[in-house]
Structure 1
Amino acid sequence: MSEARVMMGAVSTTSHGSAACDVLVVGAGIVGLATAYALTRAVPGTRVTVLEKEPGPARHQTGRNSGVIHSGIYYPPGSLKARFALQGSAEMVKFCAEHSVPHEVTGKLIVATERAELPRLHALIQRGRQHGLPVRELGPAQISEYEPHVRGLAAIHVGTTGVCDFTAVARTLARLARDAGAELRYGAAGEVVAVDRRAGRGVAVRTADGTVLRARAMVNCAGLHCDSLARLAGDEPRARIFPFRGEYAELVPEREHLVHGLVYPVPDPAFPFLGVHLTRGVHGGVHLGPNAVPALAREGYAWPVVRPAELGGLLAHPGTWRTARRHWRYGAGELRRSLSRTAFTAAVRRLLPEVTTADLRPAPAGVRAQAVLRDGTLVDDFLFAEGPHTIHVLNAPSPAATASLPIGREIARRVAGVLGSG
């Protein structure tokens, strides 16, 4: 008998109340809220409850990123990333316009600063054309037309990239779901502490305030905690969440004129990270980063945040050590930039040579929930798993925020299959 069943059995008779619905969605980030929104639209009258341990939506990955609406140019044809991003970017722009969410379609530059990067840049041009994206090849003089202070050997301009306020998108999705009849529970009322799958009858969940909620199906959109929730439900996920902290800086206000829009380096295809880039946000300000380093807690937004139990679980996973052996050189570079402001500035100067350390100041960090397999593979696409009455979203990498609307519909489609089979 799983720990989850033991816990539920022990507390069910002393719960502070109970409620029933059709679908429980755990996690009020943008993917969880898009799922709730899609469920209420797909089958009006479906009783949906969203559970979130924080006091409001979008407190983690959704609210701690650079706010970019990605075009899909990076992602291999046929991948879920490509499918969701290509569809989701246009939908996100339309959604923002319809609901008065701050947004702007700015386009972006992907800039090669070394000759060794030129083949990868040309491959991205071909991929963009395969996807039907508006891409334009640029030489050094043309780069300066878009970004006078950026230097490079060659670049691509991608016209469909933009920026928006994803926190405002999440709040809008929460409002629309609630208006359609969904219930949202935050704080102790939304913190899941036990799960029991009752054979043939659905799922029962106990929250931190003692309430027991019963549903025909549960959707796990818990982000940084998705693998833990899967195990709590009695499933053994094939991936473990490895938290990578994305550390950002921002330009001091008097130097913001150095960046007009969005500027990215040519990414290394061996890693699911895009490198240190320059992003002018939809509310102003210019973010630089992220620098990706292992976090010492799932919500480890700074080096001093350490949770021994979480760290111990991570170190006990074989995939952690295999990843470290495979990518230690890359990781050492990221760590150096984390600990040295000079080294971080040097990474920025590859694109923006005029920047000095005095031009940068710290900005809030994010933590990415990176799924890692037992063999050390960094999962580079969306990863879903299904169990009895449950659907787990085990990897929702960038462009998850961009693609949240089609992802929500995909999860809703899978929920319909679970409900139909039950």
Structure 2
Amino acid sequence: MTDRSAVGSIGVIGGGIVGIALARALAQRGAGEVTVLEKEARLAQHQTGHNSGVVHAGLYYAPGSLKATLCAAGRVSIREFCEEKGLPYREVGKLVVAVDEAELGPLAEIERRSVANRVPDLVRIDDASRLREIEPHVAGVAAVHSPHTAAVDYAAITDAMAQDVRAAGGRILLHSEVTGIHLENGGVRVITPLGEHVFDRLVACAGLQSDVVARLVGADPSPKILPFRGEYWELAPERTDLVNGMIYPVPDPRFPFLGVHFTRGVYGNVHVGPNAVPALAREGYGWLQVSLRDTWESLRWPGAWPLARRHWRMGIDEISGSLIKPLYFRKARRFVPELKMSDLQEKSSAGVRAQAWGRGGELLDDFAVDQVGPVTVLRNAPSPAATSSIAIADYVLSHYLTGSAA
């Protein structure tokens, strides 16, 4: 069966928060007939439904980058959306803590970036007693405090956005994995197991599958997606009083990961993590989920060995922490000395980050978008993509779909 949509039709691949935010913006602005194609049985199945639920305030990102710009706008938009829909939005605040004097220099860089990015009400703290006023059980010599960093439920936000898509006349089709894309007569024919669709424009927000979709339209194979699994431990309910809000380490500037931290979620639970271990499948949420094809594709990528040479020590450290609980515990206990091994009650569901990497082994840090004729492909959308989702949608519309937007 072929669905030949009306002129002005736009397809969106991906039912995560970015794809649904984009579909919502298109539908509400009358850009045309909007259809979302999602391969899973429900929305927000992968990165959106497996993240920590943090609404980032923009502390870490290079000033002037897309991440910095869209995070600032997205944070405001997400808060307003939650207020409009009656969804939980909890400003619990974040402390980025230097545990010793060796981390004061990197902490100063975080402060500089935060000021440049206009993080609201940021405070530098150099008094340990003041640290403990905010987080009574934390250890450190200095910190920056972002009081407006918040926690939300991104899966619930995605579902609410999807309701807006449908209310504006858009369609969301589940079980619709895209297996073929063909550029024909100025339009796009998209093949799924349930049928074919013809669109005037197509936007791919495919997350962990973004490079696969890019290959279907003949885009540059680089950047490729390298899946990293982030594993969390849940703090025992009777010990959640060890953490008031969020306690983060000073990140290592060589890596795009923040390190193990404590996060109080929007429903009051506290999880510890994530780490960052290479996943053995694009959607590999545990060590037993293995895709020989995905692993082989990663190993044969030209950037594989440069990346391994550059970061093998980090890889060994992260894998060891994944397999040996005391090593993971030791990382967490640096920030909360009262933490006990038994406080890490159980592993919660892990997430997989779609990390883009280039041919030379470099890990891409900023958001990235490609255009191939009538097809727009979001190639790299790591954290803070969920925070930035509404702003990313506005950016893609204004820079890539201006001919379609009303």
TM-score bucket of the superposed structures, by smaller chain: over 0.9
Indicate whether 1:379 and 2:364 are aligned: yes
Identify the residue that residue 294 of structure 2 maps to in structure 1: 310
- TM-score w.r.t. length of structure 2: 0.96
Change (3 A) 1:241 1:252: same
Aligned residue in 1 for 2:326: 342
State the Cα distance separating 1:132 from its structure 2 match. Answer: 2.3
For 1:67 and 1:214, the matched residues in 2 are separated by: 35
Partner of 1:110: 96
Partner residue of 2:13 out of 3, 15, 26: 26
Matches within 5 A, 1:184-199: 184-187=172-175, 190-198=176-184
Distance 1:329 1:56, change over 3 A: same
2:131 is aligned, of 110, 120, 143, to 143
Q: TM-score, normalised by structure 1?
A: 0.92
Matched, 1:224 2:212: no
Q: Contact 1:88–1:406 (CA<8 Å) still a contact in 2?
A: yes
CA contact (8 A) 1:322 1:376 kept: yes
1:419 Cα deviation after fit: 4.9
Please give the residue correspondences for 1:294-309 in structure 2 after superposition, counting only pairs within 5 Å.
Answer: 294-309=278-293
Aligned to 1:11: none
**Aligned residue among 357, 377, 380 for 1:395:** 380
Cα offset for 1:263? Answer: 0.8
Aligned partner (choices 119, 137, 154) of residue 166 of structure 1 = 154
Q: Which of the residues 40, 43, 63 maps onto 1:57?
A: 43
Per the alignment, residue 86 of structure 2 pairs with 100
Q: Give the partner amino acid of 1:194.
A: G
- 1:87 and 2:63 equivalent? no
The whole-number CA distance in structure 2 between the counterparts of 1:413 and 1:186 is: 27
**Structure 1 residue 128, shift from structure 2 partner:** 1.7
Show CA shifts across 1:176-227 (max 9, x none): 111111100001xx211111111x4210011112x11000111110100010
- The one-letter code sitting in structure 2 at the alignment partner of 1:289 is G
Q: Which residue of 1 aligns with 2:25?
A: 38
Distance 2:375 2:156 in 1: 28
One of 169, 173, 189 as aligned partner of 1:181: 169
Name the CA distance, whole Å, in 2 between partners of 1:250 and 1:351: 16
Aligned partner letter, 1:96: C
Task: Tell me, in whole angstroms, the C-alpha distance in 2 between the residues paired with 1:115 and 1:320.
Answer: 35
1:107-137 deviation line (CA, Å, top 9, x unaligned) = 2101001211101112222222222221112
1:125 aligns with 2:111: yes
Deviation (angstroms), 1:238: 2.0
- Which amino acid is the alignment partner of residue 29 of structure 1? G
Distance 1:129 1:104 in 2: 23
Say which is worse superposed, 58-67 or 349-358, in terms of deviation.
Answer: 349-358
Structure 2: gaps spanning 5 or more residues: none
Number of residue pairs matched by the alignment: 400
The equivalent residue for 1:12 is none
The answer on 1:240 being equivalent to 2:249 is no
Q: For residues 193 and 418 of structure 1, do their structure 2 counterparts lie closer, same or farther at Cα, with a shift above 3 Å needed?
A: farther
Deviations for 1:269-289, whole angstroms, at most 9, x for unmatched residues? 111111111001001210110
Is contact 2:59-2:114 (8 Å) kept? yes
Supply the distance in 2 between the matched residues of 1:303 and 1:312 (Cα, whole angstroms).
16
Which of residues 343, 347, 353 in structure 1 aligns to 2:337?
Answer: 353
CA distance in 1, matches of 2:31, 2:61: 36
Provide the residue aligned with 1:155 in structure 2. 143
- Counterpart among 286, 305, 311 of residue 321 in structure 1: 305
Secondary structure, in 3 states, of the residue corresponding to 2:386?
coil
- Report the alpha carbon displacement of residue 415 of structure 1 after superposing the two structures with TM: 4.1
Q: Whole-Å Cα distance in 1 between the matches of residues 279 and 113 of structure 2?
A: 33
Residue of structure 1 equivalent to 2:394: 409
The one of 284, 293, 298 equivalent to 2:277 is: 293
Any stretches of 5+ residues in structure 1 without a counterpart? Answer: 1-15
Report the Cα distance in structure 1 between the residues aligned to 2:299 and 2:248, rounded to whole angstroms. Answer: 33
Which residue identity does 1:158 align to in structure 2? S
Task: Look up the SS of the partner of 1:314 in the other structure.
Answer: helix
Deviation string 1:56-93 (CA, Å, 9 cap, x unpaired) is 11010001011000000111111000001111111211
Percent identity over paired residues: 44
The alignment's C-alpha RMSD in Å is 1.3
SS of 2:48's partner is coil
* Distance apart, 1:169 and its partner CA: 0.8
Q: Which moved more, 1:124-133 or 1:314-323?
A: 124-133
Contact 1:279 1:286 in 2 (8 A): yes
Task: Provide the residue aligned with 1:8 in structure 2.
Answer: none
